């Protein structure tokens, strides 16, 4: 039995020595683990000599089985301890490699400095690429070894500020002279790493190169300034055009109206026909100028609304009456469907009438002769709805999604006799949205279309 115990003890000691040698590689603690490994090897050699002498009869085997058992137990405990330590250090080593891999592959510069002298102790690959120096040149050195004095003093000042604080020190813009890429602009964050007593041990810094980002921002800012200047110039141009066009157009239309009315004597039917065409074209030009100016106000955010208390029944009735003569030209019956009680809202009456006139004129133009266009005021909970319904051909699906776009009109084959600027619906939509509503429509091909919008009742606005 003593032979077996002695043999197992020897094997255990040599295995423990092997693990101790392995820990030298894992931990780097050569002196400590080397001493333990040497002691185990010497113990194993000595006991192997005893075992060999006992087997060959040269030396007698110790008869103290208890002592041998105790020695075996100690050897087993040493082996278990060494194995456990090996596993612990292996786990730590794997975690360290994992963390090192993360730091190494972060696209921003990551560095660590010793708190006592602010010398670099860690630098990742992104930092090497940015600065243009290798780690072996950086580790153990300070900012004064690589950067201009004024710049190095700035870095050190921010380092000391971060070490004195327990929160992240944020430096939004920090210029840096690099050997690889010249001057760059960094966004840097620094924080102190402290021990359990709160004493700073290291300074951790992460720097993002924002040079290109800032260049793009500068270009965008310049482009925005230029765009605003161009928009302002456009607005001024349109204001001038408005004045220079509308004034003579008003005069021309007035003069033509006087001639058509016989104020300067009778004219032949042929001349009267030409004057009539001229009047219509003059009115179209005035309408176009007004629409362009409204569109410019909307796009520049300068469209203003004069809100007042209105009765939608009266507004719709007035608009219907004002457009009856236009509907008569197309042999269209224009009717109204009003609520039996007042429909009070807070709105700009002139702008709402502009919307209604546009919707009614569109409905009339796209309706077959001898048909009806209905303008209705409906109650909907805490709001009122205005609908303009025609019995026209409806809106084709491929055109419906573009109906509110500027200068958009239906296919020319369907509208060869329909005039318009293509801005009316776009302007109307913006006006309704300016009142907090939406201009929408329902349509069915060959059955007709209903445009509608809701406005909150005055007491609920």
User: Are residues 245 and 289 in contact, defined by beta-carbon separation less than 8 angstroms?
Assistant: yes
CATH number at residue 143: 3.30.450.20
Domain boundary among 103, 136, 170: 103
CATH number at residue 404: 3.30.565.10
Shared-domain flag, residues 284 and 333: no
Shared-domain flag, residues 233 and 374: no
Shared-domain flag, residues 200 and 226: no
Shared-domain flag, residues 66 and 204: no
- CA-to-CA distance for 104 and 96, rounded, in angstroms? 12
Domain boundary among 44, 75, 103: 103
Its pTM stands at 0.53
Shared-domain flag, residues 261 and 378: no
Shared-domain flag, residues 47 and 169: no
Interacting residues of 372 by C-beta distance below 8 A, sequence separation 6+: 332, 333, 334, 335, 391
Shared-domain flag, residues 330 and 403: yes
Shared-domain flag, residues 247 and 378: no
Structure-token pair, residue 441: 């429509």
Instruction: Spell out the per-residue pLDDT of the chain, length 461, in tens.
Output: 455 655 666 666 566 666 656 655 555 555 555 555 565 565 555 556 655 555 555 555 554 444 555 555 555 556 566 666 666 666 656 666 777 787 888 889 999 999 999 999 999 999 999 988 888 889 999 999 988 999 999 999 999 999 999 899 999 999 998 887 889 999 999 999 999 899 999 999 999 999 999 999 999 999 999 988 887 887 777 777 777 777 788 888 888 888 887 887 888 888 888 888 888 888 878 888 888 888 888 887 888 899 999 999 999 999 999 999 999 999 999 999 999 999 999 999 999 999 999 999 999 999 999 999 999 999 998 999 999 999 999 999 888 888 998 877 655 444 435 566 688 899 999 999 999 999 999 999 899 999 999 999 986 54
Q: Give me the pLDDT at residue 289, please.
A: 82
Q: Give me the pLDDT at residue 344, please.
A: 95
CATH number at residue 229: 1.10.287
Shared-domain flag, residues 220 and 204: no
DSSP 107: S
Shared-domain flag, residues 258 and 181: no
* Residue 385, domain extent: 308-460
Domain boundary among 163, 181, 209: 209
Q: Give me the pLDDT at residue 135, please.
A: 87
Distances (CA, A) of 393 to 297, 352, 361, 409, 410: 33, 26, 15, 14, 11
Q: Give me the pLDDT at residue 49, please.
A: 61
Q: Give me the pLDDT at residue 412, please.
A: 42
160-167: long-range contacts at Cβ-Cβ below 8 A with a sequence spacing of 24 or more?
Answer: 160/118, 161/190, 162/190, 162/191, 162/192, 162/203, 162/205, 163/115, 163/192, 163/200, 163/203, 164/192, 165/192, 166/192, 166/194, 167/191
Shared-domain flag, residues 334 and 406: yes
Shared-domain flag, residues 322 and 421: yes
Q: Considering its fold, how many domains does the chain have in total?
A: 4
């Amino acid at each position: 039995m003593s032979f077996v115990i002695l043999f197992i003890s020897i094997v255990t000691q040599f295995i423990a020595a092997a693990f101790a040698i392995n820990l030298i590689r894992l931990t780097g603690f050569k002196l400590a683990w080397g001493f333990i490994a040497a002691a185990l090897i010497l113990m194993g050699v000595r006991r192997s000599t005893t075992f060999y002498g006992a087997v060959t009869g040269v030396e007698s085997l110790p008869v103290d089985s208890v002592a041998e058992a105790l020695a075996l137990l100690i050897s087993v405990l040493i082996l278990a301890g060494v194995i456990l330590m090996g596993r612990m250090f292996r786990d730590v080593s794997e975690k360290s490699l994992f963390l090192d891999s993360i730091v190494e592959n972060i696209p921003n510069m990551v560095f660590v400095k010793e708190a006592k002298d602010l010398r670099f102790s860690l630098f990742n690959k992104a930092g090497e690429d940015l600065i243009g120096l290798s780690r072996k040149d950086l580790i153990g050195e300070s900012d004064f070894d690589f950067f201009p004095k004024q710049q190095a003093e700035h870095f050190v000042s921010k380092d000391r500020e971060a070490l004195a604080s327990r929160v992240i020190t944020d430096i939004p813009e920090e210029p840096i002279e690099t050997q690889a890429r010249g001057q760059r602009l960094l966004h840097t964050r620094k924080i102190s790493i402290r021990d359990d007593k709160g004493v700073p041990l290291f300074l951790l810094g992460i720097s993002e190169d924002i040079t290109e980002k800032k260049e793009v921002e500068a270009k965008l800012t310049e482009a925005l300034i230029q765009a605003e200047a161009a928009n302002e110039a456009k607005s001024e141009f349109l204001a001038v055009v408005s004045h220079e066009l509308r004034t003579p157009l008003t005069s021309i239309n007035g003069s033509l109206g006087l001639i058509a009315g016989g104020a300067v004597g009778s004219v032949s039917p042929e001349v009267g026909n030409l004057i009539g065409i001229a009047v219509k074209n003059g009115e179209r030009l005035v309408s176009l100028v007004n629409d362009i100016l409204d569109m410019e106000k909307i796009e520049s955010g300068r469209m203003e609304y004069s809100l007042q208390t209105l009765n939608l029944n009266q507004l719709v009735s007035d608009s219907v009456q004002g457009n009856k003569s236009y509907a008569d030209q197309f042999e269209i019956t224009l009717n109204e469907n009003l609520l039996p009680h007042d429909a009070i809202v807070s709105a700009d009456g002139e702008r709402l009438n502009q919307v209604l006139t546009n919707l009614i004129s569109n409905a009339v133009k796209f309706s077959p002769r001898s048909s009806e266009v209905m303008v209705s005021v409906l109650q909907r909970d805490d709001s009122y709805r205005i609908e303009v319904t025609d019995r026209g051909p409806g809106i084709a699906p491929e055109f419906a999604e573009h109906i509110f776009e500027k200068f958009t009109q239906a296919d020319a084959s369907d509208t060869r006799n329909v005039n318009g600027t293509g801005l009316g619906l776009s302007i109307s939509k913006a006006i309704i949205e300016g009142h907090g509503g939406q201009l929408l429509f329902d349509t069915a091909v060959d059955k007709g279309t209903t445009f509608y919008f809701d406005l909150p009742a005055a007491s609920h606005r």
